[in-house]
Amino acid sequence: MNALDTTAQAAPRAAAQPVHPTHKFKLLLKREYWEHKGGFLWAPLIAGGISLLLTLMAIVVALIAARRAIGEGSFEVDGVTINGLDLAQLTSQLGPEEMDQFVAGINLTLFMSSVWPFIVLAFVAFFYCLGALYDERKDRSVLFWKSLPLSDSQTVLSKVVSVGLVAPALATIAAVATMLVFALMISVVVMLHGGNAWTMVWGPSSPLTIIGGLIAAIPVYALWAMPTIGWLLLCSAFARSKPFLWAIMVPLFAGIFVTWFDLMQLFDLGASWFWANIVGRLLLGTVPGLELLYRDGVGEPGDFEHSADLLHLLSANNTLATLAMPELWIGVIVGAAMILGAIRLRRWRDEG
């Protein structure tokens, strides 16, 4: 009896122990993931699958067209008529400069094959932030979540981490998987047409460098997107209806007003500065890689015809160089201030 009494007394004490804040935050992240699994996980994967399907169709059409041209004797490379589709023979005729361009083309093609999941990420992240705090007020589920021992700060920050880190990490996984499957598809085509997949695809290319750059872009994306995330969450917490119009129209009308009255001349700046650094940062931060447009010395697309230049652009070191931009950290401070405003608004605004 004494042992049973001791166990019965210990059980209530164990149940009464408070949940650790980190455990609460982990549960909130799980909640966001399961509620938005379709946008965070399946949408990038489906986008990657669609791109692979379209690529396969393009390869089939190109091979049929090439075989038809060979049969008609009209398939020429540098003025030389080709009688058969032997890829090993074709690449063996390339000089050093042509081979360097060939390697750059392979790496660029591998990178471009991974872009589709990130395009989807831009839209998913934008509309997720818009509805993150508005939808729970609209369906009045906010009353349920406020009845739990969860602070407004924990709830809002879980949404920030979900859209800033979890969503881009899942999109990166989908992008890497898409790129690797694309490389396998190209390898099969090469092997079926007299080529060596290692010497023509995997050896010349640098998939690990590209993957490293994509992984390094995750924290850069989270920091660069902070002004957009903060602004959209603020609109989501503030708007009684139509948060999309609030989020879009306020920056656009501000840009039009500044341009109309040429107000930036007071600071010896043009109206384009306002559109790029205020309107653009508020609305386009969820677009991956957009920060490259704000960097000096990145270059034009035509400057990356050589493999070394292209690999430098796609490398992790070049991606992390964005962290040295003052514009990034100013945006982080502004975004954090707007996130704080969204937390305070959520604390008081719980109407449907």
pLDDT digits (tens, 9 = 90+) for 260-277: 999 999 899 999 999 999
Helix or strand holding residue 18 (H, E): none
The first and second tokens of residue 174, run together, are: 């989908």
Q: DSSP secondary structure string, 135-184?
A: HHHHTTTHHHHHHSS--HHHHHHHHHHIIIIIHHHHHHHHHHHHHHHHHH
DSSP 321: G
| pLDDT confidence bin for 18, thresholds 50/70/90 | low
Three-state DSSP class for 195? coil
Alpha carbons 162 and 159: distance in angstroms, whole number: 5
Helix or strand holding residue 224 (H, E): helix 207-224
- Each residue of 306-344: b (16+ CB within 10 Å) or e? ebeebbebbbbebbeebeebebbeebbebbeebbebbbe
| pLDDT confidence bin for 16, thresholds 50/70/90 | very low
Alpha carbons 209 and 312: distance in angstroms, whole number: 9
* Confidence at residue 244, expressed as pLDDT on a 0 to 100 scale: 95
Question: Beta partners for 103?
Answer: none
Of 20-24, 106-110, 154-158, the poorest mean pLDDT is in 20-24
Alpha carbons 342 and 221: distance in angstroms, whole number: 21
Which amino acid belongs to residue 66?
A
Question: Position of tokens 């007071």?
Answer: 266
Q: What is the pLDDT of residues 74-106, one digit of tens each?
A: 555 554 444 455 566 666 666 677 777 878 888
The first and second tokens of residue 229, run together, are: 């995330």
Contact 235, 246 (CB under 8 A): yes
| pLDDT confidence bin for 147, thresholds 50/70/90 | confident
DSSP 279: I
Question: Beta partners for 80?
Answer: 77
pTM to 2 decimals? Answer: 0.86
Alpha carbons 43 and 40: distance in angstroms, whole number: 7
Alpha carbons 106 and 202: distance in angstroms, whole number: 9
